Amino acid sequence: MSTEVFIQPRFTGRRFEEHTLPVSAARDLAAYEELVIELARHLYRVNHKERERVPKGFAEDFQLHIERIDDGSARPLLSMFLAGALVNCIPPEITQAKDLINEVIATEDGGDLPSQFPKEFYRYFNRIGRSLEKDEAIEWTPDVPGNRTVLNAAKRKRLVLADQETYEAEVDIVGQVEELNARKKTGILRTADYGAVDFEFGEVFLPELRSVLGTEITYAHVEGIGVFDVNDRLKRITEIELLETIPHYHLISAIDALSTLEAGWLEGNGVALSNENLAWLTDEVSNTFPSDLKYPSIVPTEEGNVSFEWILPRARIELEVSFADKRLELYATNLDDSSFVEEIYRTDDWGPAYSKVAELLKA
SS3 label, residue 270: coil
Angle subtended by helix axes 153-160 and 92-106, to nearest 10: 110
Residues counted in the chain: 363
Question: What is residue 353's predicted lDDT score, i.e. its pLDDT?
Answer: 97
Give SS3 for 135: coil
CB atoms under 10 Å from CB of 357, counted, come to 21
Quick check: 102 and 141 in contact, CB under 8 A? yes
Q: Which of 283, 293, 276, 277 lies closest to 247 in space, CA to CA?
A: 283
pLDDT at 1: 60
**pLDDT tens column, 249-289:** 999 999 999 999 999 999 999 999 999 999 999 999 999 99
Give me the phi and psi of 183, to 5 degrees please. -75, -45
User: What is the pTM assigned to this prediction?
Assistant: 0.80
Whole-number pLDDT of residue 214: 65
Residues of the chain under the 50 pLDDT cut: none
First to last CA, the chain: 82
Report, at the CATH architecture level, how domain 168-246 is classified.
Beta Barrel (2.40)
Alpha-carbon span 278 to 183, nearest angstrom: 38
Residue 86 is predicted with a pLDDT of 66
Give the angle 145-148-153 at the CA atoms, nearest 5°. 145
Phi, psi of 60 (to 5 degrees): -65, -30
What are the tens digits of pLDDT across the range 209-243? 877 766 667 899 999 999 999 999 999 999 999 99
